[in-house]
Amino acid sequence: TDDPHRRTLCGSQIKWYIRYLHQGMTQEVALAKAKEPGPATSGDRAPANKRSSSALTPPTDTPKRVRAA
């Protein structure tokens, strides 16, 4: 487990590198594939919060309506 390639990778890249090695790829191919960015699919993540801070209504100068008594 003294693989010099593992020192150049971050945590998730190491996970993928080891996975590719277990699949039978060579160290060079596994290293190249581990350094590739992952798929940018939004289907894996939860949908973004619809009410983000940028969606708030800005304050206005007009006063609220007064209720009729």
Model pLDDT for residues 4-13, shown as the tens digit of each residue? 877 888 889 9
- Interval 27-63: pLDDT, tens: 999 999 998 887 654 455 666 666 555 666 677 777 7
Tokens of 15: 């996970």
Tokens of 17: 């590198």
| Residue 42, Ramachandran bin (φ over 0: left; ψ between -120 and 50: alpha; else beta) | alpha
> Taking the model in full, what pTM does it have?
0.51
Q: SS3 of 18, please?
A: helix
Range in 18-22, 33-37, 53-57, 65-69 the model is least confident about: 53-57
